[in-house]
Amino acid sequence: MKRHFAFALLASALLAAPAAAQAKYDGAYHSIESRSSWSDGKFPKGFSLTIDIKFEGGKLIYHSVNDTNKNAPAKLDYTAPLDGTVAPIAGQARFNQVLVKQLSPTELEILELKDGDVIVGSFWTFLPDGKTFVRRGVGKSPEGASKAFEEYFARP
Protein backbone atom coordinates (compact mmCIF):
# COMPACT_ATOMS: atom_id res chain seq x y z
CA MET A 1 0.00 0.00 0.00
CA LYS A 2 2.79 2.44 0.91
CA ARG A 3 4.56 1.59 -2.33
CA HIS A 4 1.45 2.44 -4.40
CA PHE A 5 1.01 5.72 -2.54
CA ALA A 6 4.67 6.63 -3.06
CA PHE A 7 4.43 5.76 -6.74
CA ALA A 8 1.26 7.86 -7.14
CA LEU A 9 2.93 10.77 -5.35
CA LEU A 10 6.03 10.50 -7.56
CA ALA A 11 3.92 10.26 -10.73
CA SER A 12 1.89 13.35 -9.83
CA ALA A 13 5.09 15.28 -9.03
CA LEU A 14 6.61 14.34 -12.38
CA LEU A 15 3.46 15.37 -14.24
CA ALA A 16 3.31 18.68 -12.37
CA ALA A 17 7.00 19.47 -12.97
CA PRO A 18 6.58 20.72 -16.58
CA ALA A 19 3.71 23.00 -15.53
CA ALA A 20 5.77 24.41 -12.66
CA ALA A 21 8.76 24.90 -14.97
CA GLN A 22 6.59 26.72 -17.50
CA ALA A 23 4.92 28.92 -14.87
CA LYS A 24 8.35 30.29 -13.98
CA TYR A 25 8.31 31.97 -17.42
CA ASP A 26 4.90 33.64 -16.98
CA GLY A 27 5.02 37.41 -17.31
CA ALA A 28 5.63 40.39 -19.55
CA TYR A 29 8.79 40.60 -21.66
CA HIS A 30 9.99 43.61 -23.63
CA SER A 31 12.14 43.58 -26.75
CA ILE A 32 15.85 44.30 -26.52
CA GLU A 33 16.58 46.27 -29.67
CA SER A 34 20.38 46.23 -29.27
CA ARG A 35 20.52 42.40 -29.27
CA SER A 36 17.99 41.81 -32.06
CA SER A 37 18.42 41.63 -35.83
CA TRP A 38 16.80 40.73 -39.14
CA SER A 39 18.67 39.06 -42.01
CA ASP A 40 17.72 41.79 -44.47
CA GLY A 41 19.48 44.39 -42.28
CA LYS A 42 16.26 46.41 -41.91
CA PHE A 43 15.56 45.90 -38.21
CA PRO A 44 13.29 48.81 -37.25
CA LYS A 45 14.93 51.59 -35.29
CA GLY A 46 13.05 52.01 -32.03
CA PHE A 47 11.58 48.49 -32.22
CA SER A 48 9.24 48.13 -29.24
CA LEU A 49 7.32 44.92 -28.64
CA THR A 50 5.94 43.72 -25.31
CA ILE A 51 4.89 40.08 -25.07
CA ASP A 52 2.87 38.90 -22.08
CA ILE A 53 2.65 35.11 -21.71
CA LYS A 54 1.08 32.69 -19.29
CA PHE A 55 1.22 28.91 -19.23
CA GLU A 56 -2.00 27.45 -17.89
CA GLY A 57 -3.77 24.12 -18.29
CA GLY A 58 -1.45 22.87 -21.03
CA LYS A 59 -1.94 26.06 -23.05
CA LEU A 60 -0.04 29.21 -23.88
CA ILE A 61 -2.00 32.42 -23.32
CA TYR A 62 -0.36 35.10 -25.46
CA HIS A 63 -0.88 38.87 -25.60
CA SER A 64 1.43 41.32 -27.33
CA VAL A 65 1.56 44.99 -28.21
CA ASN A 66 3.95 46.23 -30.88
CA ASP A 67 4.13 49.99 -30.42
CA THR A 68 7.12 50.65 -32.66
CA ASN A 69 4.71 52.83 -34.63
CA LYS A 70 3.32 54.91 -31.76
CA ASN A 71 0.43 56.14 -33.94
CA ALA A 72 -0.80 52.62 -34.74
CA PRO A 73 0.13 50.01 -32.11
CA ALA A 74 -0.55 46.42 -33.20
CA LYS A 75 -2.01 43.89 -30.76
CA LEU A 76 -2.13 40.12 -30.94
CA ASP A 77 -4.02 37.77 -28.63
CA TYR A 78 -4.47 34.01 -28.68
CA THR A 79 -4.69 30.93 -26.53
CA ALA A 80 -3.19 27.75 -27.98
CA PRO A 81 -2.51 24.25 -26.67
CA LEU A 82 1.15 23.30 -26.27
CA ASP A 83 0.71 20.05 -28.23
CA GLY A 84 0.98 21.36 -31.79
CA THR A 85 -2.76 21.58 -32.41
CA VAL A 86 -3.73 24.44 -34.73
CA ALA A 87 -5.75 27.12 -32.91
CA PRO A 88 -7.61 30.10 -34.41
CA ILE A 89 -6.49 33.71 -34.16
CA ALA A 90 -9.27 36.26 -34.45
CA GLY A 91 -9.10 39.79 -35.80
CA GLN A 92 -5.79 39.58 -37.69
CA ALA A 93 -5.36 40.25 -41.40
CA ARG A 94 -1.88 38.75 -41.65
CA PHE A 95 -2.57 35.36 -40.04
CA ASN A 96 -5.60 33.53 -38.66
CA GLN A 97 -4.12 30.40 -37.07
CA VAL A 98 -1.35 29.50 -34.66
CA LEU A 99 0.37 26.26 -33.74
CA VAL A 100 2.37 26.07 -30.50
CA LYS A 101 4.44 23.00 -29.74
CA GLN A 102 6.48 22.60 -26.59
CA LEU A 103 9.79 21.01 -27.56
CA SER A 104 11.31 20.95 -24.07
CA PRO A 105 10.71 22.72 -20.74
CA THR A 106 12.61 25.75 -22.14
CA GLU A 107 11.77 25.62 -25.87
CA LEU A 108 8.71 26.31 -27.98
CA GLU A 109 7.99 26.10 -31.69
CA ILE A 110 5.42 28.68 -32.79
CA LEU A 111 3.95 28.81 -36.29
CA GLU A 112 1.64 31.64 -37.33
CA LEU A 113 -0.42 30.68 -40.37
CA LYS A 114 -2.85 32.19 -42.86
CA ASP A 115 -5.33 29.51 -43.93
CA GLY A 116 -2.73 26.78 -43.32
CA ASP A 117 0.19 28.62 -44.99
CA VAL A 118 3.08 29.34 -42.59
CA ILE A 119 3.71 33.10 -42.48
CA VAL A 120 6.04 33.11 -39.46
CA GLY A 121 7.90 30.13 -38.04
CA SER A 122 9.82 30.71 -34.83
CA PHE A 123 11.61 28.86 -32.07
CA TRP A 124 11.61 30.39 -28.61
CA THR A 125 14.31 29.53 -26.08
CA PHE A 126 13.99 30.64 -22.46
CA LEU A 127 17.46 31.33 -21.10
CA PRO A 128 18.75 29.93 -17.77
CA ASP A 129 18.33 33.30 -16.01
CA GLY A 130 14.54 32.76 -16.19
CA LYS A 131 14.08 36.39 -17.23
CA THR A 132 15.11 36.36 -20.89
CA PHE A 133 14.07 34.55 -24.02
CA VAL A 134 15.18 34.64 -27.63
CA ARG A 135 12.99 33.89 -30.60
CA ARG A 136 14.58 32.88 -33.87
CA GLY A 137 12.87 32.09 -37.11
CA VAL A 138 11.75 33.11 -40.57
CA GLY A 139 8.86 35.36 -41.49
CA LYS A 140 7.22 36.28 -44.78
CA SER A 141 6.26 39.93 -45.33
CA PRO A 142 2.86 40.90 -46.78
CA GLU A 143 4.76 41.47 -50.07
CA GLY A 144 5.95 37.83 -50.03
CA ALA A 145 9.64 38.38 -49.19
CA SER A 146 11.06 36.22 -46.40
CA LYS A 147 13.69 37.12 -43.81
CA ALA A 148 15.25 35.42 -40.82
CA PHE A 149 15.13 37.07 -37.42
CA GLU A 150 16.70 36.84 -33.99
CA GLU A 151 14.93 38.86 -31.32
CA TYR A 152 15.69 39.03 -27.60
CA PHE A 153 13.17 39.82 -24.89
CA ALA A 154 13.59 40.39 -21.15
CA ARG A 155 11.41 40.93 -18.14
CA PRO A 156 11.99 44.25 -16.42
Mean of pLDDT over the chain? 89
Tell me which residue range forms the domain holding 141: 2-154
Q: What is the predicted pLDDT for the residue at 13?
A: 41
Which is it for the CA torsion 119, 73, 82, 108, positive or negative? Answer: positive
Question: In percent, how much of the chain has pLDDT > 70?
Answer: 87
Domain with 35 in it: what CATH number? 2.40.128.20
Write the pLDDT tens digit of every residue in 8-39. 433 444 444 445 457 899 999 999 999 999 99
pTM: 0.85
- Of 65, 51, 155, 69, which Cα lies nearest the Cα of 110? 51
H or E segment at 22?
helix 2-23
- How many structural domains comprise the chain? 1
